[in-house]
Amino acid sequence: GKYTLTYFPVRGRGEATRMLLADQKQEWTEDVVTGEIWQKGDLKKSCVFGQVPRFQDGDFVLVQSNAILRHLARNHGLYGQDAREATLLDMVNDGVEDLRVKYARLIYQNYDAGKAEYIEALPAQLRPFENLLAQNDGGKGFIVGKKISFVDYNLLDILQLHLVLAPNCLDSFPLLAAYVQRLNARPHLKTYLESEGRKQRPINGNGKQ
């Protein structure tokens, strides 16, 4: 097929793309990068910034997880209804990215010593997303505008990750809790979430979650 995702066998920075593709009824090939393959060095040298995920759309090859999401958003009508919504989506996606970086730092650099403190500080990190939902049609739909966008898949991923890290983290955020349930129940996404591919993939590369 036309789409190939080259990445480690983890959710990580590939999962929002996987959920977008699944929900949009798109097929893709998983080009699984094992540690052994990565250590060889050839693939790393071939990537613009020496990192994965890498995405191939036919003969078009790109890296950077957020650029991959935006590329798919442009091509599948997932970038809002107008320029203003597109700008708001960029703003919110940058907020998701900020939280993802903090999460990755905890997981890969400070898990045992930092987990309790991270979870204690988590409500303040999630509150902005609850507020954004509250300001958009009472929070009954998507994070921006009236249709699903690439940011919904990225935000859903980071919320799913935090529900594993801290199962009660959405207890004081009813709109976010309902948002996760609602998106998880979307038929094509639900099928993916129940798939072996999804269930077999560890969340992160070091066994911590």
Ligand X SMILES: N[C@@H](CCC(=O)N[C@@H](CS(=O)(=O)O)C(=O)NCC(=O)O)C(=O)O
Binding residues for ligand X, per CB under 6 A?
Answer: 12-13, 44, 50-53, 64-66, 205
Query: Least CB distance from residue 123 to ligand X, whole Å?
Result: 25
Residue 48 or 113: the one with the smaller Cβ distance to ligand X is 48
Residue 103 or 173: the one with the smaller Cβ distance to ligand X is 103
Which class for 177: exposed (0-12), middle (13-18), buried (19 or more C-beta within 10 A)?
A: middle
Starting at the earlier edge strand, list the strands of the sheet with 29-32. 29-32, 3-7, 54-57, 60-63
Q: From the CB of residue 81, how many other CB atoms can be counted at a distance below 10 Å?
A: 13
**What's the token pair of residue 43?**
């693939």
Query: Least CB distance from residue 161 to ligand X, whole Å?
Result: 12
Residue 104 or 166: the one with the smaller Cβ distance to ligand X is 104
Residue 66 or 149: the one with the smaller Cβ distance to ligand X is 66
Residue 149 or 154: the one with the smaller Cβ distance to ligand X is 154
Rounded (5°) CA angle 18-21-27: 105
Query: Least CB distance from residue 90 to ligand X, whole Å?
Result: 15
DSSP 7: E
Q: From the CB of residue 170, how many other CB atoms can be counted at a distance below 10 Å?
A: 23
Taking the C-alpha atoms of residue 96 and residue 144, their distance in angstroms, rounded to an integer, is 13
Residue closest to ligand X (Cβ): 51
Q: How many helices (DSSP H) and strands (DSSP E) are in the chain?
A: 10, 4
Query: Least CB distance from residue 47 to ligand X, whole Å?
Result: 7
Taking the C-alpha atoms of residue 174 and residue 192, their distance in angstroms, rounded to an integer, is 25
Query: Least CB distance from residue 138 to ligand X, whole Å?
Result: 32
Query: Least CB distance from residue 132 to ligand X, whole Å?
Result: 22
Residue 18 or 145: the one with the smaller Cβ distance to ligand X is 18
